[in-house]
Structure 1
Amino acid sequence: MDEQQKGNMDEKGSFDNIDVYGIFIGAGCNRVVNTVAWGPSGLVAFGAHNAVAIFQPQAARILTTLPGHKDIVNCVEWLPRNKDIYKCDYGSLEEQFLLSGSADGVIMIWAYLPSHNKWRRVLQVPKSHEKGVTCIAGAMLNNLDGLFASSSSDGTVYVWGVGFPSQSGGDCNLSMLQTIHVGTRTMVSLALAELPGNAADWILAMGGLDNKVHLYVSERKGKFVPACELKGHQDWIRSLDFSIPAIAEGRMEIFVTSSSQDKTIRIWKISFHSSLSNFTEEAQSIHNISLKTYIEGPIFKLGTSVWQVSLESLLVGHEDWVYSVSWQPPLKSCIDNNNACWIQPQSILSASMDRTMMIWRPERKTGIWINDVTVGELSHSTLGFYGGLWSPKGDAILAHGYGGSFHLWKNVGLSVEDWQPQLVPSGHSASVLDLGWAKSRQFILSASHDQTTRIFAPWERRKDDRLEISWHEIARPQVHGHDINCMAIIKGEGNHRYVSGADEKVGRVFEASLSFLRTLQHTAWGHLGKQDVNNEDIQILGANMSALGLSQKPIYVQGSTTRASVASSQDFSDGMETIPEAVPVVLTEPPLEENLSCNTLWPESHKLYGHGNELFSMCCNHEGKILATACKAQSSNVAEIWLWQVGSWKAIGRLHSHALTVTQMEFSHDDHFLLSVSRDRHFSVFRLEKNGIDEVKHELVARHDAHKRIIWSCSWNARHHVFATGSRDRMVKIWKIKETKSESSVTELLILPQFSSSVTAVSWSPGSNFKDDLVAVGMESGLIDIWRVCLQVMTPGGEHFQPCQRFDTVTASRIIRLDIYLCHVATVHRLVWRETSESESSMLVNSSPTVMQLASCGADHTVRIFNVVIA
């Protein structure tokens, strides 16, 4: 920001120039087999709810999400693929293309421009499947022409020809070549390749529920016709992949590998047999089974050529379903007359539900295929891998698992192979319902229906001789057995604590472990909040999960220095033994998934009993002394709000006002009032006053029928007794509490113009450095607006809280709508602001503008953090 821009800012700041940048996206992968693809650009695409997410493995960061699908993204495929490098010149391609298919049968084509790091949606394939798309397989003819097939649970396989634009920004030419009806034999895996030779013939492999591999062949621009069926597997075919065509000892051949739920992998060789003129009538008929065809395998013809399929090898080693199998991408072997020679490495990667990935290679002497490399872990804690992928150069392998997590290994060895785990992005694998900033503003905590709470924090990492701040998941405090609906961070002095509420009707209190507090000091903002917590007073190193239970029991420091001991003095109702696997450690760099899943748990200190239904909302006051909780309700008796005393965790009050579920609550910034909004379309304001040590006097100040539909969200102004409510009626209303000596009342100040979608989240900025305020509004569509709200008062005000000001005018204007590539693709559930100091702002943007941070979470499984730069 130059001197002229600085001069334009008044004493308390303004919002004349505001920009919003996305700095973090946390998201897990959909629990589907074909939903991840690693492209030649080095980027990984994966399905995250209804969006296609893009992450960069080198930076361990999700770059963006592509909105457009209306249902879960089941499968993705890059064009060109990594294995198309032998016939495509990647360097001459201005754009690369990505195909995605969703559970509602829709297929979309996206274009990526690497030079500008820009994405655009090219088109939606005009003919949708009647049911979900299960797999997309593509291949390139050359730089501009390609072919892809899609399978669906509606019993059809579509084959499309696609012509890509020669320059960036152009349109694709799409033509439907064929519809293959497979009936009730649903196909869940596809593979497409060009047969070796100059005839440009194509072969399509399909596998599914009938335990067979079906081969279809086609001459260029012709129809695919059935060639033969490959039998041998005893369960569903889950994955298929072709090698690149080759000529071995003067004989043209190509390999296809298949994996199955029968725990085995089969490699089939398809080789040129003879020309049709030299082949007898008996051999031409695939229905005439002779002893020769039984031994050597089925034979099929295409044009003037005859091909034979034989079983090359049977790979046995996995202990559970093999969900994914793929050939290593081709490698450049030589350059002859400016033409590159490519070879197919004899390496196959498989991923299984036994939580391992294996690399299979033939022995040099015998040629027998063996398991050469195994990565992963045989663990009973979670289900295994849904898929495995090679990097473009074959020096890294990536797996995605049941919990939506990624696992990356890279070969860091020089003379010998040495596969080491690498950092990857992470996030929730189900809807994220709640989140909040830590009291010290060092990290953010989120709660999700994937039955976990997660902590994300910034980390300083060195890149190209300079330090960069990047966000990562650093802890998973709670791994539960019920969907977590809400949480509240306990503010005030003392150790970091939070309370979570789930479908089990019980509130659980967690306290930060010593290992987490020491880890926190290594983060980018580790200097914050040190005065609040004395690490010497914390005697719990970490926590262990109960076997077959829900409680997380503490591991004390005074146990063995080499192996943490489990305390037995705590009285937990579960009464089960603990799993002796957690090893809490102090992290000096962002942790890997293996550490997050079991070694970063927080111990549970208390349970809060009392509610009759599943907990749905909660909040803590700013002093950190009172917790308010509410549960799902269909009657006024159940919809009561419980007040708890922090520390003793005694119930100190019940507030009656609502008739249905309380959707959100928030304390005013001076803690005098508690605001609640409900499904009954009312908001309620309660005045709270301390009456002794263990009692709180409460009074219902106002109850208003405020909106025509459910009220989803509310938020207080930081300096006045003014608050905002957001509703399904697409309205945001701003209200003021008017106080006199005898009574208090609530009046409506302003109604914002109607939004395009239901308002599901509202958050008022701290605003201490500005004369106006920012109000962030999140919608059911996933969009986020930021509004400027100006409360002009008759008497000049300082920075202290002003509960009883008179307002001349109240104005509001939308100053920015976040780009759709930054926003959520489903309902925004929560928005929370964070005010940064001057030193933090300079670290974030390397200049002097003021930066506030806005965090959001939503039904699209993502947690997002934005830098709001005010110049």
Structure 2
Amino acid sequence: MGNVGVEEVFIGAGCNRIVNNVSWGACDLVAFGAQNAVSIFCPKSAQILTTLPGHKAVVNCTYWLPNTKFAVKARGLDKHYLLSGDAEGAIILWEFSLVSNKWRYVLHVPKPHKKGVTCITGIMLTQLDALFASSSSDGTVLIWGLVFPSTIEGECKLSCLESITVGSRTMVALSLAELPGSSKHLVLAMGGLDNKVHLYCGERIGRFFHACELKGHTDWIRSLDFSLPLCTSGEKNSLLLVSSSQDKGIRIWKIVLCCSVFNARREQISLASYIEGPVISAGSSSYQISLESLLIGHEDWVYSVQWQPPSLASLEGTEYDQPQSILSASMDKTMMIWQPERTTGIWMNVVSVGELSHCALGFYGGHWSPTGDAILAHGYGGAFHLWKNVGTYSDHWLPQKVPSGHFASVTDISWARSGEYLISVSHDQTTRVFAPWKNITSSGDGNSWHEVARPQVHGHDINCVAIIPGKGNHRFVSGADEKVARVFEAPLSFLKTMNNAISKTCNFAESLEVDVQILGANMSALGLSQKPIYIHAERETADRNNNNGLDSLETIPDAVPAVFTEPPIEDQLAWHTLWPESHKLYGHGNELFSLCCDHQGKLVASSCKAQSAAAAEIWLWQVGSWKAVGHLQSHSLTVTQLEFSHDDNFLLAVSRDRQFSVFSINRTGTDDISYQLVARQEAHKRIIWACSWNPSGHEFATGSRDKTVKIWGVNKGSSVKQLSILPQFSSSVMALSWACVDRLSNDGILAIGLESGLLELWSLSITRADDGSTRMPTVPARLVHLDAFMCHTSAVNRLAWKNCSASEESKSMQFASCGADHCVRVYEVCIR
């Protein structure tokens, strides 16, 4: 088959719903945890660039060294570093090279925490020296010294400087800073469940001691952030600390050198003058701490506060100007920017931006860009929200495109009938459509992938999906943790949006010729059924919403379906891209588990979770009338995957009972079908998770928890014979997908997904005997073992090759994968 190269085209993933999970670096890249992977995305391109494998548990927090606050010390650095901590207490250090644009695993921090890491904070002392602290629910805070290599071949040197025991009062927020007027002493602020801000003073070599407690908050401390030292009369003599809490309040504390306190008292007394607090000592210096201001404005818990970083444009040498500007993010779905008034010095809310979504909860964190002209939030729905200040003379914040994806395990994927888009379903109770969007500004094709629609927002975890091919409008069937399969039909707004999205090489306009009278859909109050909005009813709906000012369950404003000329942002996806539900398929007695549709678009097969033969029945549904036309009995436990052969003459089913079944499907008339069990065989020693037909014949592959893949053939006499078995894999085989490369020579590629998240491509070439009844594959060969940085970090749940017509002679193909790590990935396979 020659050489095979694989490139990653797209990664879609949502953010873990954890407070300290996101970090924006001085290199202008954002790191966040997606299940047990660390994902990196570029705000400028709105694309996830890569995922970093290594954690065995959910990633709780990330922290860049240097982050946006220390961009002043990052100029000229060729390498940036990232820390990530997980729910088992492990902390990993990563290295990113700006020259080669590549990532490298550096080390696991030794002596990890015994329980989950709750927060990581750090400080750049010089370009090669840093300190970082980590807190954990095991009741300890560890402080580490880190020396970066000065040469290309050098290694990082890590040393544990201090271990602070805080007991049962778990600390969930940390911040480190250098004390003003002293280049050797540091201050560490920590806050948590006891409603107090604790200050520890120490040196660069450790020796931290408890200095004081700052009282005032009446609920858990959720976020702390030190400003850089403030300059007064040319001297750095003060420091500001901002804290936020679940009491909905934000407090600003001022730390001033005692020699500067007397000068401050001579200034005009105003509302901004501080209330004296404790005095702390560090070395020969003493510091007065006072409450500078109390900010009230949010209506719910304030999860995040952060000082605006110095602007790079204002830097001269090593001097900087710390902007008096604070960003706060709250569970009330808003982010606010606070600044003091020029005349009175009273801190005011000057900017407020927010989220419009179906979920009741808001933001877990807010972050400044390195230049301070953009702000980023991550929310309960695993989504990012990015606003950029595009104003010239006054602030004007506009939402920007960001990457998106599922925030729970992605259970199934399916390509559109001609491969125009990819649809995925997840345990986050959403169905999403991803597609390449033509980039007008770039040369060549220049397509970048984005989420273009969210057809279904459901009240149950969704387990399976099947696109219905064939003529007519675009439709799909989905099955969730309920006993009903639901059929959805593409609205006119989606068809027009896709016509704007796809490149000119594809022809999506044919779909617009279908007489579609439905413009979009509305979400019901319970979040289960989605009601259609008809084209002729659009104006009536708008008038009704405008004329009735009363809000009740009967007068909830309807969504307004929209046609997009550029990739939609989160608020638009959540409200304006729903598909109407056209049918419900009742019959199964348990939760839906697997779905598939034949290649003519006439039959849908479904299965549900089962512990008995009666519940393990496979139901056949007729597309169009949606009548149940068959009940196929063969298995005694859950049927895990179903697939029709490419000529639609056979239906293959694999099950938890370690058996596969092959049924023949005969269409005796326009609406009548007959079916017969051709073969049933115990094929593996453990659960069979996956199966896939050969696109050019009646061979199929099965993959099992016993770490094996077997190749089978259906003979003319309707008997099934084992043709080959692949060498045993390193972990359970969870997903399979067979693609045809050359129909004349019967060459094919089998994509294999493992429970470890790794992906492999194997070549399968089928040779047939003269009588045509016996099929013998040549020895299977591994083509590609994908690099771990390109693979999933948890179990691969499904693989799917993009449809390739028989006449295509292209040596480039695409396949998609989804997994328990919340990721949807698309790969380009080039055969040289």
Relative to the length of structure 1, the TM-score reads: 0.90
Q: How much does 1:463 deviate? A: 4.0
Residue deviations 1:392-435 (CA, integer Å, cap 9, x gap): 00010000010110000011111111111000000000000000
Q: How much does 1:549 deviate? A: 4.0
Q: How much does 1:724 deviate? A: 0.2
Q: How much does 1:535 deviate? A: 4.0
1: CA distance, partners of 2:593 / 2:321: 58
What amino acid sits opposite 1:61 in the alignment? Q
Q: How much does 1:683 deviate? A: 0.3
1: CA distance, partners of 2:525 / 2:347: 40
Cα distance change of structure 1 residues 560 and 85 upon mapping to structure 2, 3 Å threshold: closer
Cα distance change of structure 1 residues 199 and 439 upon mapping to structure 2, 3 Å threshold: closer
Match of 2:719 in 1: 745
Are residue 599 (structure 1) and residue 585 (structure 2) matched?
A: no
Match of 2:35 in 1: 49
What amino acid sits opposite 2:46 in the alignment? A
Are residue 417 (structure 1) and residue 385 (structure 2) matched?
A: no
Q: How much does 1:524 deviate? A: 2.3
Comparing 829-838 and 396-405, the one that deviates more: 829-838
What amino acid sits opposite 1:253 in the alignment? S
Are residue 82 (structure 1) and residue 55 (structure 2) matched?
A: no
2: CA distance, partners of 1:723 / 1:840: 22
RMSD: 2.3
Match of 1:352 in 2: 330
Contact 1:251 1:272 in 2 (8 A): no
Match of 1:297 in 2: 277
Are residue 141 (structure 1) and residue 116 (structure 2) matched?
A: no
2:515 alignment partner, one of 530, 537, 559: 537
Per the alignment, in what secondary structure is the counterpart of residue 715 of structure 2?
strand
Match of 1:270 in 2: 255
Match of 2:448 in 1: 470
Comparing 132-141 and 220-229, the one that deviates more: 220-229
Match of 1:131 in 2: 115
Match of 1:489 in 2: 467
What amino acid sits opposite 1:852 in the alignment? M
Cα distance change of structure 1 residues 770 and 140 upon mapping to structure 2, 3 Å threshold: farther
1:774 alignment partner, one of 734, 749, 767: 749
1: CA distance, partners of 2:487 / 2:58: 34
Per the alignment, in what secondary structure is the counterpart of residue 766 of structure 2?
strand
What amino acid sits opposite 2:700 in the alignment? F
1:820 alignment partner, one of 762, 784, 788: 788
* Pairing of 1:152-171 with structure 2 (within 5 A): 152-171=136-155
Contact 1:718 1:767 in 2 (8 A): no
Are residue 191 (structure 1) and residue 175 (structure 2) matched?
A: yes
Residue deviations 1:241-283 (CA, integer Å, cap 9, x gap): 000012324571000000111111000000111499x9xxxxx
Q: How much does 1:566 deviate? A: 9.9
Match of 1:859 in 2: 820
2:339 alignment partner, one of 361, 377, 383: 361
1: CA distance, partners of 2:411 / 2:542: 33
Cα distance change of structure 1 residues 823 and 625 upon mapping to structure 2, 3 Å threshold: same
2: CA distance, partners of 1:17 / 1:452: 38
What amino acid sits opposite 1:758 in the alignment? S
Gapped runs of 5+ residues in structure 1? 1-14, 279-292, 568-575, 797-803, 842-848
Residue deviations 1:428-486 (CA, integer Å, cap 9, x gap): 00000000100121000001000000000001113466651100000000000100000
Q: How much does 1:341 deviate? A: 2.0
Are residue 119 (structure 1) and residue 107 (structure 2) matched?
A: no
Per the alignment, in what secondary structure is the counterpart of residue 345 of structure 1?
coil
Contact 1:272 1:306 in 2 (8 A): yes
Cα distance change of structure 1 residues 136 and 562 upon mapping to structure 2, 3 Å threshold: farther
Cα distance change of structure 1 residues 380 and 447 upon mapping to structure 2, 3 Å threshold: closer
2:244 alignment partner, one of 231, 241, 259: 259
What amino acid sits opposite 2:244 in the alignment? S
1: CA distance, partners of 2:527 / 2:612: 31
1: CA distance, partners of 2:35 / 2:610: 29
Residue deviations 1:768-804 (CA, integer Å, cap 9, x gap): 55631000000000000000011123459xxxxxxx5
Are residue 868 (structure 1) and residue 826 (structure 2) matched?
A: no
Residue deviations 1:594-638 (CA, integer Å, cap 9, x gap): 100111000000101111110000101111111110000011110
What amino acid sits opposite 1:158 in the alignment? L
Q: How much does 1:561 deviate? A: 4.0
Contact 1:42 1:391 in 2 (8 A): yes
Contact 2:427 2:461 in 1 (8 A): yes
* Pairing of 1:163-562 with structure 2 (within 5 A): 163-249=147-233, 252-274=237-259, 295-332=275-312, 339-377=317-355, 381-463=359-441, 468-525=446-503, 528=506, 530=508, 533-535=511-513, 537-561=515-539
Match of 1:641 in 2: 618
Cα distance change of structure 1 residues 821 and 759 upon mapping to structure 2, 3 Å threshold: same
Q: How much does 1:330 deviate? A: 1.4
2: CA distance, partners of 1:108 / 1:768: 45
Per the alignment, in what secondary structure is the counterpart of residue 643 of structure 2?
strand
1: CA distance, partners of 2:708 / 2:460: 33
Cα distance change of structure 1 residues 460 and 578 upon mapping to structure 2, 3 Å threshold: farther
What amino acid sits opposite 2:114 in the alignment? E
Per the alignment, in what secondary structure is the counterpart of residue 740 of structure 2?
coil
2: CA distance, partners of 1:706 / 1:335: 69
2: CA distance, partners of 1:105 / 1:835: 44
Per the alignment, in what secondary structure is the counterpart of residue 868 of structure 1?
strand
Q: How much does 1:81 deviate? A: 2.0
Q: How much does 1:377 deviate? A: 3.8
1: CA distance, partners of 2:758 / 2:685: 22
Match of 1:630 in 2: 607
Per the alignment, in what secondary structure is the counterpart of residue 537 of structure 2?
coil
Are residue 850 (structure 1) and residue 811 (structure 2) matched?
A: yes
Q: How much does 1:698 deviate? A: 1.0
Contact 1:219 1:303 in 2 (8 A): no
Per the alignment, in what secondary structure is the counterpart of residue 318 of structure 1?
coil
Residue deviations 1:198-236 (CA, integer Å, cap 9, x gap): 442100000100111000001231311011111111111
Residue deviations 1:80-109 (CA, integer Å, cap 9, x gap): 1222234x2421x22110000000100000
Contact 1:555 1:565 in 2 (8 A): no
1: CA distance, partners of 2:476 / 2:386: 32
Match of 1:792 in 2: 767
2: CA distance, partners of 1:497 / 1:81: 46
* Pairing of 1:731-742 with structure 2 (within 5 A): 731-740=708-717
Cα distance change of structure 1 residues 726 and 156 upon mapping to structure 2, 3 Å threshold: same
2: CA distance, partners of 1:492 / 1:59: 35
2: CA distance, partners of 1:813 / 1:107: 38
Contact 2:468 2:474 in 1 (8 A): yes
Q: How much does 1:523 deviate? A: 1.7
Contact 1:838 1:850 in 2 (8 A): no
Cα distance change of structure 1 residues 565 and 467 upon mapping to structure 2, 3 Å threshold: farther
Relative to the length of structure 2, the TM-score reads: 0.95
Per the alignment, in what secondary structure is the counterpart of residue 306 of structure 2?
strand
1: CA distance, partners of 2:182 / 2:15: 40
2: CA distance, partners of 1:29 / 1:838: 40
What amino acid sits opposite 1:868 in the alignment? V
Cα distance change of structure 1 residues 416 and 809 upon mapping to structure 2, 3 Å threshold: closer
What amino acid sits opposite 1:149 in the alignment? A
Match of 1:846 in 2: none
1: CA distance, partners of 2:120 / 2:777: 58
Contact 1:333 1:341 in 2 (8 A): no
What amino acid sits opposite 1:819 in the alignment? D
Number of residue pairs matched by the alignment = 814
